[in-house]
Amino acid sequence: MMKRPSLPVLFARAEALLLMDARPSDALESLLDNALNNVTEAQRGHPARFDAWVRHQTVGRVN
């Protein structure tokens, strides 16, 4: 049986989406780390792709 991600992980990812257009920040890094590090190894695929996508979106933005 596959477990769903916890609500804190989902909220961290949602908040990261809101922050990614602003610019790279410590808050964004913390949210991405939290979202990626608080899933099981079996659930890691999609969160890892999400993390990479968000980080790619912030490349070139001035801090």
In a domain, 44, yes or no: yes
Q: What is the pLDDT of residue 39?
A: 84
More confident residue, 4 or 55: 55
Helix, strand, coil share of the chain (percent; to 5): 70, 0, 30
Q: How many domains does the chain have?
A: 1
Task: Write the burial class of residue 26 (CB in 10 Å: 0-12 exposed, 13-18 middle, 19+ buried).
Answer: exposed
- For residues 32 and 11, the answer to whether their CB atoms sit within 8 Å is no
In a domain, 25, yes or no: yes
Question: Domain containing 43: what range?
Answer: 9-58
More confident residue, 13 or 7: 13
pLDDT tens string 8-60: 888 999 999 999 988 889 999 999 999 898 887 777 788 899 999 999 998 77
Confidence of residue 62 (pLDDT cuts 50, 70, 90): low
The model's pTM: 0.78
